[in-house]
Amino acid sequence: MNAQRPIVELEDVRKTYAMGSVLVEALRGVSLVFSEGEYVSIMGQSGCGKSTLLNLLGCLDRATSGRYLLGGEDVSELDDDALSDIRGARIGFVFQSYNLIAQLSVLENIMVPLYYQSKSEHESIAAATLLAERVGLDTRLNHRPNELSGGQQQRVAIARALVNDPLVILADEPTGNLDSTSGQEILDLFDELHRQGKTVIMVTHDDAISSRTQRIVRLRDGQVVSDVRN
C-alpha cells in the first residue's frame, strides 16, 4: 500500500528527564512523519530513546517541547484525561509482556478497550469475537491467559489492539518473549495487518524483524541517525 495521509507527525520533539540534579535528554530534536498504511521499525541500542519515543507516540507521556500531531490533531498540549481518551480510541498497543488481565477470559481481554466506548455489550461481544476469529483464537474465547501459550497470549493482545480500529498500532518488541516458531507466527500476523492497510510502528532490536518492514528508523543518543526504506 502506498503512503497516504500523514498519521503521525513529530516536529522537533525533545524529551528531558530530571535524574536527581542531572538533566538527561532522552530525545533531542526528533522530526518524523509516518503515513497511513506504513509499516515502520524503530531501531537502536539500549538507551537510544526508542522506548521514550514509543511512549510519546502512544500518548503515555508528553514531550518536553515540540509538536506531535496524531491524525492531524495536535495532541502535544492535551491534558491527561484527553490523552487517555486518545489512547482508548485511536491507538492500539502490543507489548512484549502481553499485559493481559489474568482474571479475564480471552473474549473479555479483547473487549477491554470497548468498555470506554459507547458500544453496547452485544456490539462489543460481536466485535471481540470477530477479532478472536481473525487471530485464530475462536476456540479459546473462554480461556484465561494462564491457559494459553505465549504466542496465543500475544494474539489476544493484537486482537485487543485492533478492536477499536485504531489509527496506528504501536508494538514494543512484540516477539521478545516468544520462541522462534511463535515469533514467526506473530510477525506473519503483523505482515497481514500491513497488507490490510493498517499503520504499524514497531520497536525492535532484531535486523531480521526490521527487514520485514517498509521503513527503518534508527536512533542514537536521542536523535534520528538514519531513515531508510526497504
Q: Which amino acid, 30?
A: V
Look at residue 28 in the predicted model and tell me its pLDDT: 96
The predicted-structure confidence for 195-205, as pLDDT tens digits, reads as follows 999 999 999 99
The predicted-structure confidence for 27-38, as pLDDT tens digits, reads as follows 999 999 999 999
**Percentage of the residues of the chain whose pLDDT score is greater than 90:** 83
Q: How far apart are the first and last CA of the chain?
A: 14
Q: Where are the domains of the chain?
A: 37-55+86-229
| Mean pLDDT value across residues 95-123 | 91
Task: Name the band, by pLDDT with cuts 50, 70 and 90, for residue 221.
Answer: very high
What are 22's three cell numbers?
Answer: 542531572
Distance separating alpha carbons of residues 43 and 203, to the nearest angstrom: 6
| Mean pLDDT value across residues 60-85 | 92
Q: Assess whether pLDDT exceeds 50 at residue 3.
A: no
Exposure of 92 by Cβ count < 10 A (0-12 exposed, 13-18 middle, 19+ buried)?
A: buried
Q: In what order do the strands lie in the sheet with 39-43?
A: 91-94, 168-172, 200-203, 39-43, 215-220, 223-229
Look at residue 119 in the predicted model and tell me its pLDDT: 82
- β-pairing verdict for 168-172 and 91-94: parallel
| Mean pLDDT value across residues 110-135 | 91
Look at residue 19 in the predicted model and tell me its pLDDT: 86
The predicted-structure confidence for 167-188, as pLDDT tens digits, reads as follows 999 999 999 999 999 999 999 9
**Percentage of the residues of the chain whose pLDDT score is greater than 70:** 99
Look at residue 1 in the predicted model and tell me its pLDDT: 43
Query: How open is the CA angle 13-226-65, to the nearest 5 degrees?
Result: 5
Look at residue 122 in the predicted model and tell me its pLDDT: 93
What are 163's three cell numbers?
Answer: 478492536
Distance separating alpha carbons of residues 98 and 176, to the nearest angstrom: 10
Q: Report if pTM > 0.85.
A: yes
Specify the CATH number of the domain 37-55+86-229.
Answer: 3.40.50.300
